[in-house]
Amino acid sequence: MSLSSPQQAVLEKHMRLLCDELDHHLEDTYGERYPLHPNRPARGKAARVAYDGLFSTGTKFTLGYGSTHGRGYLVDIEISTLERVKAEDREEIESTAIKFLREKLPEHFPDRKLEVVKDGKVYKIVGDFSLGKLY
């Protein structure tokens, strides 16, 4: 039994499409920088973009207790490699990802005021997630 509303499902679908687009962007830009984890399928070989290639991107909703910015969607970017990822590479990838999300949020959520903020050590998409809005 699902506890989410149809509006929540639509919002989550749009968030997933945004993350899939981010995943493709990171794969195109950095996909050859590190060897792929041996147990991870090559890009384009899994049923979903998040399950193959060097990157897996997504969001996770948080109520934001104890957070400066409150509730929102945590931005999750995983790099699937056995090699140690250099701190400067991780920072570059993260910076590229956040810039991409900031540019694409208005396209994916045109009637919502959303922004990407740094919340402690993580990035989060915050703003208007009211479920009364239609897409």
**Numbers of helices and strands, H then E, in the chain:** 2, 4
pLDDT for res 108 = 93
Residue 16 phi, psi dihedral angles, 5° rounding: -65, -40
Q: Which residues of the chain have pLDDT under 50?
A: 1, 135
pTM: 0.89
pLDDT for res 1 = 41
